[in-house]
């Protein structure tokens, strides 16, 4: 499955990029995160939520979307 | 080159000298719609050397009935950019500049200064007055065209000390009192005729031949083929008032922006609810009718005398052909202290499309629709602004609401960047970023639920992106209602929801240029 991943704020500092797209064969959001944790070792020390196609999802959710975003704590306002 | 313009050059009134004048001319066309298309087409064909096109809008299917530069392949594309592509095919020897943005009081003067002649092809009075005033200030001739159903008007303003648009109509008409094409309809060929007349005036000005339509208003009736010409006297006061206020011109804003927010909600919001009265304020002869929905018919012209038909116990979802008259109706009802009135954003045919996209089995029973979410192609409007929100902008927002006299209370929240001291270092600025698409969607949801929960007349949210220095404003929330109590509750609800739900990120930058990430608690 082809997935675009977007990184924001301090997460983008860890990954040193704001987005990337990759092929992934797993079926759960948690599996994708495991793979990213391996790729970016600092990631597991960070707090973030996951949005799939612009809706927040739990990590147990099934991967359906082609856009995943890793969102650090919000600071609007 | 000579071949291309041969039919001009062999005219003794034009010749090579005249054709060179055309090549050296710079013309700006405001709006690439019904009027703008023929103007652009003929000016490009004639070889006007520099042509500017400004239009923020995109091509829609209903435009193709009269906007002859576009086709099905350009649906959804920006009009200025689509027109430029088509015109470059027509004549690649000239320079065409497309400005895919709104004309504003902030960009008009700079833009107009780059051209010799301005052509007005807009479809609303607010922009016409902006164009006219900017032409007076920059001293540019304005080739004016306007259409209404089967009638059109042409004139040339500010030409050799002639009259101006404000000499004809010193002040704008009351908002919503005059419908535009999408509201009332127009014969497709009419803008073709009027736009061609405008192109003709432009060429006469460039070539200094014939009699320019200055000080005169030409009126054309497509049904009778009659033309009549009215004389317009120069009104010195109207012109000097514009010049006197020149310094403040760039601070002004087009007022009608606010009206977008007048209790306007999508039809979706109401389809899933009980206790809604759907009111059609169009005249009896107007089509299409809404299928499969219980509708109360009260034409806007009769609304004032038909208040007994309004169900006070229900939410009122008011619609018309395009969403303009429905806003008038909401204002009118609010002035008479009738609460819970909403203007439906979509026009009648779009409402039908939305309804027919639903599962037909769920339709008659409104309750059955409760969990259906329909995707419309309306993109939520962006609330983000680059950099700090200025006190001038906030002041203007307040000013814009003073014509809306059904409002009895405003409440404003201003978030300011605080110079926090953390471990001996002081925050000097916050740099904001956002997951913009999702953030705008969240802002939209917050807005819709605020309108649902509270009896608000309008609300506005603006949030900064990029760097905002300590002491500057990064969030501006503005709610208005007939009554004071609701604005306190509504504002708190909205601000808390923004803090909790909207993906905006803040990098707190210290005076020594190190940083940390801000977290809402």
Tens-digit pLDDT profile for chain B (521 aa)? 568 999 999 999 999 999 999 999 999 999 999 999 999 999 999 999 999 999 998 898 989 999 999 999 998 899 999 999 999 999 999 999 999 989 999 999 999 999 999 999 998 888 999 999 999 999 999 999 999 888 899 999 999 999 999 988 887 766 555 556 566 788 999 999 999 999 999 999 999 999 999 999 999 999 999 898 888 888 898 899 899 988 888 888 775 444 445 577 778 778 767 788 999 999 888 888 887 788 899 999 889 888 889 988 888 899 998 878 898 898 888 878 787 888 888 888 888 887 777 654 434 333 333 323 333 333 456 789 889 999 988 988 888 787 777 788 999 999 999 999 888 899 999 999 999 989 988 998 898 888 888 888 888 899 999 999 999 999 999 999 888 999 999 999 999 999 999 999 999 999 988 999 988 87
The answer to whether B438 contacts A54, with C-beta atoms less than 8 Å apart, is: yes
Q: Which helix (H) or strand (E) holds B344?
A: strand B341-344
In whole angstroms, give the CA distance from residue B203 to residue B21: 10
Cβ <8 Å between B474 and A6 = no
Between chains, do A73 and B434 touch, taking CB under 8 Å as contact?
Answer: no
Q: Name the nearest CA neighbour of B413 among B474, B465, B491.
A: B491
Q: How far is the C-alpha of B29 from the C-alpha of B98, rounded, in Å?
A: 10
Whether CATH 3.10.20.30 fits A2-71? yes
Q: What is the pTM assigned to this prediction?
A: 0.49
The CA distance from B515 to the nearest CA of chain A, in Å, is 11
Pick from A58, A10, A6, A18: nearest CA to B519 = A10
CB contact under 8 A, A69 and B438: yes
In chain A, whose CA is at the least distance from the CA of B517? A10
Dist. CA A5–CA A30, nearest whole Å: 14
* Angle between helix B125-138 and helix B236-244 axes, rounded to 10 deg: 80
Contacts of B464 in chain A (CB under 8 A): none
Nearest residue, CB atoms, B505 vs list A8, A51, A54? A8
Distance from CA of A42 to the nearest CA of B (A): 16
pLDDT value at position B202? Answer: 98
Q: Which residues are CB-contacts of B302 (< 8 A; sequence separation ≥ 6)?
A: none
Listed as ranges, residues in chain A with pLDDT below 50 are none
Q: What are the residue ranges of helices labelled H in B402-519?
A: 436-453, 484-501
The pair of three-digit structure tokens given for residue B497, joined into one six-digit string:
């929801």
B418 contacts chain A (CB < 8 A):
no
Cis check for the bond before B288: say yes or no (omega within 30 of 0).
Answer: yes
Could you tell me if B520 lies within 8 Å of chain A, comparing CB atoms? yes
Taking a C-beta distance cutoff of 8 angstroms, is the pair B443, A74 a contact? no
Residue B469 CA: distances (Å) to CA of B141, B389, B415, B433, B462: 43, 11, 12, 15, 17
Q: Does B61 touch chain A (CB under 8 A)?
A: no
CA distance A76 to chain B (A): 5
């Amino acid at each position: 499955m082809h997935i675009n991943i977007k990184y924001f704020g301090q997460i983008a500092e860890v990954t040193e990029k704001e987005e990337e797209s990759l092929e992934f064969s797993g079926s759960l959001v948690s599996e994708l995160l495991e793979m990213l944790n391996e790729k970016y070792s600092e990631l597991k020390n960070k707090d973030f939520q996951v949005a799939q196609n612009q809706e927040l999802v739990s990590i147990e959710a099934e991967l359906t979307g082609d856009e995943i975003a890793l969102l650090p704590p919000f600071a609007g306002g | 080159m000579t071949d291309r313009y041969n039919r001009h050059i062999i005219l003794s009134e034009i010749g090579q000298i005249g054709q060179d004048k055309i090549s050296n001319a710079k013309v700006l066309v405001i709006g690439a719609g019904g009027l703008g298309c023929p103007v652009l087409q003929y000016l490009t064909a004639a070889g006007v050397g520099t042509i500017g096109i400004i239009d923020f809008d995109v091509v829609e299917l209903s435009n193709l009935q009269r906007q002859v530069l576009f086709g099905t392949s350009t649906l959804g594309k920006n009009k200025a950019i689509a027109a430029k592509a088509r015109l470059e095919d027509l004549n690649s020897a000239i320079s065409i500049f497309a400005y895919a943005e709104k004309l504003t009081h902030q960009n008009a003067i700079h833009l107009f200064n780059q051209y010799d002649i301005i052509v007005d092809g807009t479809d609303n009075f607010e922009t016409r007055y902006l164009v006219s005033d900017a032409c007076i200030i920059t001293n540019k001739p304005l080739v004016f065209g306007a259409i209404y159903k089967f009638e059109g008007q042409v004139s040339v303003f500010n030409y050799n000390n002639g009259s101006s648009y404000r000499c004809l109509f010193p002040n704008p008409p009351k908002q919503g009192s005059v419908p535009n094409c999408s509201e009332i309809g127009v014969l497709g060929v009419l803008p073709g005729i009027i736009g061609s007349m405008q192109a003709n005036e432009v060429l006469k000005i460039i070539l200094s031949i014939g009699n320019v339509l200055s000080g005169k208003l030409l009126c054309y009736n497509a049904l009778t083929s009659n033309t009549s010409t009215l004389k317009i006297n120069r009104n010195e006061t109207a012109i000097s008032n514009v010049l006197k206020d020149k310094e403040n011109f760039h601070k002004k804003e087009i007022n009608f922006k606010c009206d977008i927010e007048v209790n306007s909600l999508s039809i979706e919001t109401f389809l899933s609810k009980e206790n809604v009265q759907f009111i059609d304020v169009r005249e009896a002869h107007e089509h299409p009718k809404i299928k499969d929905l219980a509708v109360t018919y009260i034409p806007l012209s009769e609304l004032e005398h038909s208040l007994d038909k309004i169900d006070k116990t229900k939410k009122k979802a008011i619609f018309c052909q395009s969403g303009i008259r429905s806003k008038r109706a909401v204002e009118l009802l609010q002035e008479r202290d009738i609460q819970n009135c909403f203007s439906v954003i979509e026009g009648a045919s779009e409402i039908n499309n939305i309804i027919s996209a639903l599962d037909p089995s769920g339709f008659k029973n409104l309750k059955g629709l409760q969990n259906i979410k329909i995707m419309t192609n309306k993109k939520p409007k962006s609330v983000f602004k680059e950099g700090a929100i200025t006190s001038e902008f906030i002041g203007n927002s307040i000013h814009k609401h003073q014509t809306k006299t059904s409002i009895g209370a405003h409440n404003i929240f201003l978030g300011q960047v605080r110079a926090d001291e953390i471990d001996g270092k002081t925050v000097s600025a916050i740099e904001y970023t956002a997951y913009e698409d999702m953030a705008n969607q969240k802002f939209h949801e917050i807005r819709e639920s605020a309108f649902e929960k509270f009896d608000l007349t309008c609300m506005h949210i603006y949030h900064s992106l990029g760097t905002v220095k300590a002491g500057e404003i990064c969030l501006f929330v503005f709610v208005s209602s007939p009554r004071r109590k609701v604005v306190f509750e509504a504002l708190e609800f909205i601000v808390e929801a923004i803090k909790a739900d909207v993906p905006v990120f803040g990098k707190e930058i210290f005076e020594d240029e190190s940083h940390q990430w801000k977290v809402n608690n």
